[in-house]
Amino acid sequence: MLGGRSITLFHVRGIRITVDWSWFLVLFLVIFYLSQLYGDAFGESGSDSTPFLLAILSAFGFFGSIVLHELGHALVAMRNGIGITSIQLWIFGGMARMDRESDGPMTEFKVAVAGPLVTLAIVIVLTAIGLAAAGGEGFREAILLESDSGVLAMVGWLATINLLVLVFNLLPAFPMDGGRIVRAIAWWRTGNRGSATRFAAGLGRVFAYIFIAGGLLLIFNGLAFTGVWLALIGFVINGSARAASAQTKITSSISNLVVADVMDREPVAIPGKLSVEQALDEYFLRYRWSWFPVVDTGRRFLGLVIRDKADEVPETSRTTSLISELIESDSDARTFQVRDDAPLDTLLANSTMRRFGAVMAVDDEGRLSGVITAEQVGRALRDGIA
């Protein structure tokens, strides 16, 4: 859905917040629309300073609420062991890029519902501010742009637009949040993620056609901008639902397999207490691999160490430097591992698998129990399809 290079804006708890080029188009359109809206409401030109400033603040407030919505998804995903590579804003909103699928229906439900709950909280907070500042009748006038206060009008608009986003997102149109909630419930009821995804994707395509038809109807009735927007959303949802359904057909052949079924159960790992010199001599030079998992004395997985980092250590310090000093931090280490009882198909979107060609498998106590490679996953797919 997203193309081209993205621009990094900032980081939140290690999550990169980026924008696609299409976001700038939407930002311009929103500011232009709101400038005219506020200008008409206060009897001024849209280019005057007050309507223009309110439009800019409203636009960034709106996109800030989208970021918070996606952060809700991202933080709950991370709490459930799913890595987040970035959050990207684009022409139709935002997307939290996860490095793998949820490993169970409850995790899927919690991640899917987190974003709408954040948006609901935003609506409640903005409404409370409006009611406290102007009372029920005053805030209603602000929402209808009949108030003399520009700030109150902005609060009313942000509360209204977030409420619309909340309602729209909860429609059961996969891959929107409502569709993912439907998939989680269907997955819980059937115990089969593949059939749940096909059901949710089918429902998503139904809503996609409704959006497209509704968009065309709006266009024919003179609401061209809104109609084109709704129709484009329908096309995007239809394409995403079709892709999810097609992927499910491919992955259904391994739907009954878990990581432990295909992983290498005798992984070579470097003890964290080993010196850098010993690690280079006994592991990197011996096996000629570019990286190794590192474990503690209880064989708990600590992270990965890369050959380049070991080579960067001065020769005079290699005997006293421990290999555990070169690994990634604990928070980053979680992106390199997967439970050995996790469904195998959750690795198909794993970013670590794409980067290193393998992921470390751990048991329920965090001990390294195996290594699973992209080649092993691909072989399982080929065997299943054949």
Read off the CATH number of the domain in which 358 is found. 3.10.580.10
Q: pTM for the complete prediction? A: 0.76
Output phi, psi for 370, to 5 deg: 175, 175
Same domain, 32 and 138: yes
Q: What is the 3-state secondary structure (H, E, C) of the chain?
A: CCCCCCEEEEEECCEEEEECHHHHHHHHHHHHHHHHHHHHHCCCCCCCHHHHHHHHHHHHHHHHHHHHHHHHHHHHHHHCCCCEEEEEEECCEEEEEECCCCCCHHHHHHHHHHHHHHHHHHHHHHHHHHHHHHHHHHHHHHHCCCCCCHHHHHHHHHHHHHHHHHHHHCCCCCCCHHHHHHHHHHHHHHCCHHHHHHHHHHHHHHHHHHHHHHHHHHHHCCCHHHHHHHHHHHHHHHHHHHHHHHHHHHHHHHCCCEHHHHCECCCCCEECCCEHHHHHHHHHHHHCCCEEEEECCCCEEEEEEEHHHHHHCCHHHCCCCEHHHCCCCHHHHHHHEEECCCEHHHHCCCHHHHHHCEEEEECCCCEEEEEEEHHHHHHHHHHHHC
* CA 374, 376, 377, 382 torsion-angle sign: positive
Same domain, 7 and 126: yes
Same domain, 368 and 223: no
Residue 278: the pLDDT is 94
The pLDDT tens digits for 300-339 are 999 899 999 999 999 999 999 999 999 875 444 456 888 8
Same domain, 148 and 26: yes
- Domain boundary at 254, 285, 301, which? 254
Same domain, 61 and 162: yes
Same domain, 208 and 312: no
Q: Which domain holds residue 74?
A: 1-170
Same domain, 248 and 290: no
- Domain boundary at 212, 230, 254, which? 254
Residue 175: the pLDDT is 86
CA dist 341 and 150 (Å) reads 56
The pLDDT tens digits for 286-296 are 998 999 999 99
CA dist 275 and 2 (Å) reads 45
- Domain boundary at 170, 201, 227, which? 170
Total domain count for the chain?
Answer: 3
Same domain, 133 and 3: yes
Same domain, 138 and 265: no
Same domain, 70 and 118: yes
Same domain, 60 and 165: yes
Rounded to 10 deg, the angle between the 21-41 and 150-169 helix axes is 130
CA dist 184 and 196 (Å) reads 7
CA dist 11 and 86 (Å) reads 9
Residue 210: the pLDDT is 94
- Per-position pLDDT tens, the chain of length 386: 444 567 888 888 878 899 988 888 888 988 998 998 898 888 776 567 888 999 999 999 999 999 999 999 999 998 887 878 789 888 778 888 887 778 789 999 999 999 999 999 999 999 999 999 989 999 999 898 888 888 999 999 999 999 999 999 999 988 899 999 999 999 999 988 888 999 999 999 999 999 999 999 999 988 887 888 889 889 989 998 888 888 777 777 777 788 999 999 999 999 999 999 999 999 999 998 999 999 999 999 998 999 999 999 999 999 999 999 998 754 444 568 888 988 887 787 777 787 788 999 999 888 999 999 988 988 888 876 55
Same domain, 231 and 336: no
